Amino acid sequence: MDRCGYFGTIGLVLAGLVGLGAPAAAQDGFSGCMQSLRAQAGQRGILPQVFEQATAGLTPDNSILNLLDRQPEFSRQPWDYINGVVAANRVAEGRRMMQAHRAAFEAAERATGVDRFVIAAIWGIETSFGRAKGNTSVVRATATLACYGRRQDFFRGEFLAALQIIARGHVAPANFRGSWAGAFGHTQFMPSTFLRAARSGNGGPRIDLMGSIPDAMMSTGNLLREEGWQRSQGWGYEVTVPAGLDLTLAHRDRPQTIAQWEARGVRRIGERAFPRKSDQAFLFLPAGAHGPAFLMLPNFRVIMKYNNSENYAMAVGHLADRLRGGGTFARGWPTSERALSRDERIEIQQRLSQVGLYTGTVDGKLGAGTREALQRFQARAGLAADGFPTAALLQRLRRGG
């Protein structure tokens, strides 16, 4: 698996864990934490024998504490990440798996309204179609993160949810294994997400996301449906933008109708017609003015609720299109642009903050807020305001404009 649950289902927000900086977890502190969790488990109706069986001999997993700053969706250039997960062998394998499990995909699409190719793409990116689901104890992983780090409240809930899954008979403690962050199964659900959105593929009472492909596909479709998937829409379109377009319009919070974008000269690649002119979409330039451009539909943001990364959502959408028979993007990526180091990304945020353009967290994660601040800086400096961070733009910031 490429990510093995780096963010897990619904964008787990592991960003809040980065920089935990804890030494090897002390067992005495862990024991006290487990005592507190035992009391909380009782308040949730988890029987003492369930708690004891699941936690007998449990110790913290110190290896987890070294994995918290590895997030390829944010640290790699978009083309490196997307090309890495949407490889030709994955496309070929995905098509074989969709044919082999055709009934499961048809049932999931029919019941949830979610495009079967998107469901398959998530499966492929999360666990390479089930070949790499993770082998870390979900109980131990969530217990460790419930007792150490800055997201303890979140992971206490995940730990207790894992015990509820065991108590309801969905999985035995010895078999409850997944990613280091607690996500598990073919499509890497967090325990609380399982309790909320998992569904059986055959209508039975037991849901097996680790062993049953029909259960995993149905649950994934249901999760996206609950997050607002619109049955009649795709995820987005590759487009061309006219010279002179105001690139500050490229922002998630500035959607317009397709008709309005067309009036500004935006065209679908190949001069193909847009299916619905009234659809809302936002302009997205993942590699700035010199890379491919997209109009992203609301379903793109639904995919981001699975993992709060634009690179991830693009990879899911692109893999879905490739599984459907589509080709690569029409416009090439600016591959000569090197990826900035984490220190450089932090410096960009710091310098933008110093000139009053950025008020967000200085963490090296260059999301929508940082890009908007970069756009304002570029516009002020008379540059194309595409918000794409480059080494040259960092040098301009260092010079003060």
Q: What is the CATH number of the domain that holds 255?
A: 1.10.530.10
- Four-residue CA torsion sign, 342, 124, 165, 219: positive
Judge if 19 and 143 occupy the same domain. Answer: yes
Judge if 246 and 212 occupy the same domain. Answer: no
CA dihedral 220, 225, 230, 232 (to 10 degrees): 60
Q: Considering the domain boundaries, does residue 61 fall inside one?
A: yes
Q: What CA–CA distance (Å, rounded) separates 215 from 212?
A: 5
Neighbouring C-alpha atoms within 13 Å toward the C-beta of 320: 23
Judge if 98 and 163 occupy the same domain. Answer: yes
Written as one letter, the residue type at 348 is: I
Mean pLDDT score of the chain:
91
Among candidate residues 171, 205, 230, the one where a domain is terminated: 230
Q: Considering the domain boundaries, does residue 330 fall inside one?
A: no
Judge if 209 and 258 occupy the same domain. Answer: no
Judge if 294 and 255 occupy the same domain. Answer: yes
Q: Which residues pair with 137 in a beta bridge?
A: 177
Q: Which two tokens stand for residue 293?
A: 């451009």
* Sole residue written with tokens 């209508």: 203
Q: Considering the domain boundaries, does residue 148 fall inside one?
A: yes
Judge if 198 and 295 occupy the same domain. Answer: no
Judge if 49 and 68 occupy the same domain. Answer: yes
Judge if 76 and 120 occupy the same domain. Answer: yes
**Residue 180 CB-density burial (10 A; 0-12 exposed, 13-18 middle, 19+ buried):** buried
What are the pLDDT digits (tens) for 105-129?
999 999 999 999 999 999 999 999 9
Judge if 209 and 254 occupy the same domain. Answer: no
Instruction: Return the pLDDT at 23.
Output: 41
Q: Considering the domain boundaries, does residue 219 fall inside one?
A: yes
196 within 8 A of 85, measured Cβ to Cβ: no
Q: Considering the domain boundaries, does residue 332 fall inside one?
A: no
Residues of the chain with pLDDT under 50: 1-24
Q: Considering the domain boundaries, does residue 336 fall inside one?
A: no
Find the domain containing 96 and state its range.
Answer: 1-230
Judge if 191 and 312 occupy the same domain. Answer: no
Instruction: Return the pLDDT at 79.
Output: 96
* Sole residue written with tokens 């504490």: 65
Among candidate residues 186, 210, 230, the one where a domain is terminated: 230
* Sole residue written with tokens 């890495």: 84
Judge if 129 and 262 occupy the same domain. Answer: no
H/E stretch holding 348 reads helix 342-354
Domain count, the chain: 3
Q: How many CB atoms lie within 10 A of CB 278?
A: 9
Q: What CA–CA distance (Å, rounded) separates 35 from 350?
A: 42
Q: What CA–CA distance (Å, rounded) separates 376 from 328?
A: 32
Q: Considering the domain boundaries, does residue 172 fall inside one?
A: yes
Judge if 69 and 207 occupy the same domain. Answer: yes
**Residue 67 CB-density burial (10 A; 0-12 exposed, 13-18 middle, 19+ buried):** middle
Distances 151 to 74, 154, 177, 249, 306 between C-alpha atoms, Å: 19, 5, 21, 35, 19
Q: Considering the domain boundaries, does residue 1 fall inside one?
A: yes
DSSP assigned state of 76: S
Residue-level length of the chain = 401
Among candidate residues 230, 257, 285, the one where a domain is terminated: 230
Instruction: Return the pLDDT at 71.
Output: 53
